[in-house]
């Protein structure tokens, strides 16, 4: 078994010349006695040397080893080694650990399993590196939560498996949304804006906040510059493209798409926020009234 593990590590690093690190360095980390985080304390000097062999600067290595008090140095070395074997360069791997130190506490097998899950979603090495850079929290999220969000995209939003891979690869933070919020974001684009699945993927719609989407879309609606398509998908005017609404700076949006001033837009955003607050309060009051009526009916039934 040990020989088999060493062969896997040797093959991985011999076939990843872009990392430029000697295969023996990681074989020592994974096949030697330091591979077991319960086998006793490791000397910081040993960990520093192993990190250096992986291409980590002395300064960065010191930061990693001090990042989580109580964490054994060998666990830092093992976690970083696993990230490198996933295809990450040393610096992005260190940045992922800095942004989500909880990764350091994960067993190597858990990291491999999570990487496998992301690959099953269609994320190859390039996408996996982008996901790790942008959203290292994905390594410590529960699988149930990820499965629930993927189910929303596939079953409720009707994206294909390839489209889901493109969405997660380009907008990894989509897997941090609440399922109901993710479904609402899709429904808003599909029903209110008339944008189909293919264009939602192509324009990377899911990377934008719901606040930004609604502010710019409703502003254009009230200016008469955007119409919700009818049942046949037709409008009486030519709607501006998603990119000209969302993928540009606010200044460019106002100058080229809305043809309006920054002052007008600021006033509108305040009015919209007030409208939404009043709507939320009205819904809350309605829910409380329904609850009171239900309690009253239950009380009457008990008296009878």
For residue 87, name the pLDDT band (cuts at 50, 70, 90). confident
Residues 55 and 34: their CA atoms lie apart, in Å, by 19
Element spanning 50, H or E: helix 44-53
**DSSP letter string over 59-114?**
HHHHHHHHSSTT--HHHHHHHHHHHHHTT--HHHHHHHHHH-GGGGGS-HHHHHHH
User: What's the CA angle centered on 146, arms 143 and 173, to 5 degrees?
Assistant: 135
How confident is the model at residue 63, as a pLDDT? 93
The whole-number average pLDDT for the span 175-204 is 96
Provide the whole-model pTM. 0.77
**DSSP letter string over 229-269?**
--TTS--SS-PPPHHHHHSS-HHHIIIIII---HHHHHHHH
Q: What is the pLDDT of residues 237-285, one digit of tens each?
A: 999 999 999 999 999 999 999 999 999 999 999 999 999 999 998 888 7
Other Cβ atoms closer than 10 A to 192: 16
Contact in structure between 244 and 254 (CB atoms under 8 Å): no
How confident is the model at residue 125, as a pLDDT? 63
Q: Is the pLDDT of residue 118 over 80?
A: yes
How confident is the model at residue 302, as a pLDDT? 56
How confident is the model at residue 109, as a pLDDT? 87
């Amino acid at each position: 078994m040990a020989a088999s593990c060493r062969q896997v590590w040797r093959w991985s690093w011999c076939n990843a010349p872009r990392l430029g690190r000697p295969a023996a360095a990681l074989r020592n980390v994974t096949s030697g006695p330091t591979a077991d985080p319960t086998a006793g304390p490791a000397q910081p000097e040993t960990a520093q040397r192993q990190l250096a062999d992986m291409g980590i600067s002395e300064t960065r290595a010191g930061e990693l080893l001090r990042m989580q008090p109580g964490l054994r140095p060998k666990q830092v070395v093992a976690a970083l080694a696993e990230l490198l074997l996933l295809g990450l360069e040393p610096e992005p791997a260190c940045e992922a650990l800095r942004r989500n130190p909880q990764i350091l506490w994960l067993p190597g097998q858990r990291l491999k399993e999570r990487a496998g899950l992301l690959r099953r979603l269609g994320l190859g090495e390039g996408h996996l590196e982008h996901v790790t850079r942008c959203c290292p929290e994905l390594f410590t999220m529960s699988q149930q939560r990820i499965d629930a969000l993927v189910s929303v995209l596939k079953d409720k939003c009707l994206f294909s498996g390839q489209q889901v891979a493109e969405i997660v690869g380009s907008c990894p933070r989509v897997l941090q949304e609440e399922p109901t919020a993710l479904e609402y974001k899709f429904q808003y684009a599909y029903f209110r804006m008339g944008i189909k699945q293919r264009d939602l993927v192509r324009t990377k719609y899911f990377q934008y906040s719901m606040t930004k989407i609604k502010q710019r879309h409703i502003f254009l609606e009230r200016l008469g510059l955007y119409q919700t398509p009818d049942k046949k998908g037709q409008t009486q005017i030519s709607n501006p493209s998603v990119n000209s609404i969302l993928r540009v700076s606010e200044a460019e949006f106002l100058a080229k798409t809305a043809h309006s001033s920054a002052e007008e837009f600021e006033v509108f955003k305040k009015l919209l926020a007030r409208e939404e607050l009043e709507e939320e309060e009205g819904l809350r009051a309605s829910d409380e009234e329904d609850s009171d009526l239900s309690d009253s009916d239950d009380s009457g039934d008990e008296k009878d």
